[in-house]
């Protein structure tokens, strides 16, 4: 008897997860379709001798900050994504000067910079001029995920910090109104797959969005003067009550907003995706089967999220002889 598409997909995803957890080598970014040599500059024991307490320091700091403000957890994961989405994971989003990514309109709601500064200051005391801000962001995103009930994964380290940060490039990060083709091309240009797109979108299982981003969906979808017809009617009424002002915030997941689970995908099946880019994942034939598989098997999302976060953290990184540095202050280049 032939297997259904979701079941076939489930088996495929599980096999990919098993291979990834079994020691797949880390690769530097190459154009999609090309073969990359193993990047020996990214290793699991990169700081074993030079800063052996690196991960412990990050873990304790993240724990302290999130215990005071739970909403920082999804913000730190998002900060890492915004960094990796532009120029790779090189901490360019942290550079704080006029015209940098941090000053872009797309970065206005980014949070967590003070957490990174706190960690960097402590590391400079214990291991001066050793740990890159890019590696700190990578470790923080993992520990923030674990802190809110998500999976743990091993990170490879050795990234350098970039020297360039441009606001105009930050505007390229998807902001919730793009079509699926645009999203697929954006991810593929960064060495990430269709599966990574759908799984990393699942980070919206937690966190919140400013209501201004969805005003058009609620009141004037594509200039019609009406709401987006793809929104469930009850959910639409809920959003209109929550978002009377554009400056208000609304949770991505209205069902289990503080729990790291696969409810995000179940919500999409019920037409309860907050952003247009969320809901489109279930209406597009290329991404719908993956959404269905992840909704059907909650543990699959939990496991695959770790794999896709590793893929994100290792795409387009600066290492070895690449032009970059180890910043002593994450906000500024050394010179």
Q: Which residues define the annotated binding site for Ca(2+)?
A: 83, 88, 90, 92, 101, 205, 253, 256, 261
CA distance linking residue 131 with residue 129, whole number of Å: 6
Given 80, 82, 97, 335, which residue is catalytic?
Answer: 82
Query: 290 with 137: CB under 8 angstroms?
Result: no
State the binding site for heme b: 204
Other C-beta atoms closer than 10 Å to the C-beta of 73 total 27
Of 335, 293, 334, 331, the closest CA to residue 96 belongs to 331
The gap from C-alpha 129 to its chain's centroid, in whole angstroms, comes to 27
> Distance between CA atoms of 111 and 75, rounded to whole angstroms?
6
Distance CA 10, CA 251 (A): 28
Please give the annotated binding residues, written as ranges: 83, 88, 90, 92, 101, 174, 204-205, 253, 256, 261
Residue carrying the six token digits 């987006």: 228
Give the annotated binding-site residues for substrate.
174
**Quick one: which of 90, 91, 135 has its CA closest to 318?**
90
CB neighbour class for 326 (10 Å; exposed up to 12, middle 13-18, buried from 19): middle
- Report DSSP letters for 186-227, one per residue: HHHTTT--HHHHHHHHGGGGS-EEEGGGGHHHHH-GGGSSS-
Task: Examine the residue annotation and report whether 82 is marked as an active-site residue of this protein.
Answer: yes
Q: Catalogue the active-site residues.
A: 82
């Amino acid at each position: 008897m032939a297997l259904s598409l979701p079941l076939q997909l489930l088996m495929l995803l599980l096999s990919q997860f098993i291979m990834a957890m079994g020691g797949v080598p880390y690769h530097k970014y190459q154009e999609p379709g090309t073969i990359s040599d193993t990047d020996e500059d990214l290793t699991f024991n990169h700081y074993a001798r030079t800063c052996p307490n690196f991960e412990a320091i990050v873990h304790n700091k993240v724990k302290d900050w999130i215990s005071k403000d739970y909403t920082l957890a999804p913000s730190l994961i998002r900060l890492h994504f915004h960094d990796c989405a532009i120029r790779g994971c090189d901490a360019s989003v942290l550079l704080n000067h006029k015209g940098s990514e941090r000053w872009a309109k797309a970065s206005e709601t980014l949070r967590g910079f003070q957490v990174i500064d706190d960690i960097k200051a402590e590391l400079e005391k214990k291991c001066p001029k050793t740990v890159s801000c890019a590696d700190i962001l990578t470790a923080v995103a993992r520990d923030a995920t674990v802190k809110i009930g998500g999976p743990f994964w091993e990170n490879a380290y050795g990234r350098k910090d970039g020297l360039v940060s441009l606001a105009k490039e930050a505007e390229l990060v998807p902001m919730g109104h793009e079509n699926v083709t645009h999203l697929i091309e954006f991810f593929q240009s960064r060495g990430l797959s269709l599966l990574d797109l759908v799984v990393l979108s699942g980070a919206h299982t937690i966190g919140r969005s400013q209501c201004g981003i969805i005003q058009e969906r609620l009141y004037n979808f594509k200039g019609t003067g009406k709401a987006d017809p793809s929104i469930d009617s009850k959910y639409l009424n809920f959003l209109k009550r929550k978002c009377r002002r554009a400056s208000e915030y609304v949770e991505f997941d209205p069902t289990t907003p503080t729990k790291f689970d696969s409810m995000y995908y179940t919500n999409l099946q019920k037409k309860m995706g907050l952003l247009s880019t969320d809901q489109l994942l279930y209406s597009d034939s290329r991404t719908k089967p993956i959404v269905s598989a992840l909704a059907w098997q909650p543990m699959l999302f939990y496991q695959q999220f770790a794999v896709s976060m590793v893929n994100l953290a290792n795409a387009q990184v600066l290492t070895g002889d690449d032009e970059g540095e180890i910043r002593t202050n994450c906000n500024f280049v050394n010179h």
